[in-house]
A and B are shown apart, each in its own frame.
Chain A
Amino acid sequence: MNQKRPEPVQIVKQRRDAALRALVAGIPFVQFLGIAFERHGDELTAVLKFDDMQIGNPELPALHGGVTAAFLETAALVELGWQNLWHEIESGRLDAESLNPATLPRMPKTIDITVDYLRSGLPRDAYARARVNRSGRRYASVRVEAWQDNRMRPMAQATGHFLMPSPSPE
């Protein structure tokens, strides 16, 4: 039996966390909104940290619909980008530690997104998870759901279509 020994857990985590950081940290609007990503294995959860500036209706108060839409779109885009990146770093084709906006694979582009507002967004943190329902060579269809206090009571959901980056000419 000459099976390869599994890599030490720290090495694996370091590589994946570095890749995720490189994917998200370089996007100014995502930083401005206060969106971060938590990772468990390959599963991502987008976290929108509440800030007073996100309010769109001061009387209720409620999150601005645009903040919710931007949060869902970001969760969908990063999930797609992450799935592409995952294969590159796990196969060793890309070195996670040296990734930066210029060396990262191109991000997909949003073609359209439809947002359903299910409940008024409360002034507290929100979470979202995206699921890639179809990812072809040119297009992808992604569904994303956001919730706040209670996972079973989503505040919004969205379906979006994305144009996949054309493979780099190598």
Chain B
Amino acid sequence: MPDKVGIRGAGKRRFIDELPFCRAMNMVLEEVGEGTAVVSMPWNDRLVGDPVTGVAHGGAVSSLLDTCGGVAVLSHPAKPSTTATLNFRIDYMRPATPGQTITAHATCFHLTRTVAFVRTLATDEDKANPVATATGAFVVQA
């Protein structure tokens, strides 16, 4: 599992590149704070879930939100060493506009010895209208 040093500073870009699925989806770790993270995913035709409208598959958006949530947990000041998703609920507000980068923001707003609670938001280039939100519980290990 990626260590907490790896997700900060110069190594932060590398952290996501080390996770095969994030690499396959071309995810980029844009920012990481104290229990917060921003991860983006550039448009790719492979993301399409509806061939008629060209809109991204919900699963592509949820993958980005899950990743961003996990990074937010690992960046929490309590410094958990590993995390895994326990429960994740995604609400889809509107289709992401085809061709646009999707960006996720996540906050780990509470952490106990065993569980981290996370809120996430996804937008495309229209930042005022969310594409999706998700809340999750992640298991953590000190």
Residues on A close to B: CB < 8 A?
Answer: 26-30, 32-33, 52-60, 62, 64-67, 69-71, 73-74, 101-102, 106-107, 109-117, 120
Contacts and interface: CB of A to CB of B under 8 A. Distances in A.
Contacts of B92: 109-112
Nearest to B25: A66
B19 A116 contact: no
Given A57-B1, A66-B21, A27 B51 contact: yes
B40 to A, nearest CB: 15
Contacts, number: 129
24 contacts: A28-B45, A32-B46, A32-B47, A53-B20, A53-B23, A55-B20, A56-B20, A56-B22, A56-B67, A57-B84, A62-B84, A64-B19, A64-B22, A65-B63, A65-B85, A65-B88, A67-B63, A69-B59, A70-B59, A70-B62, A71-B59, A102-B52, A110-B58, A114-B88
A9 to B, nearest CB: 31
B64 A66 contact: yes
A64 B63 contact: yes
Given A28-B47, A53-B24, A69-B63, A113 B89 contact: yes
B91 A70 contact: no
A73 B92 CA distance: 12
Contact of A29 (B18, B49, B88, B95): B49
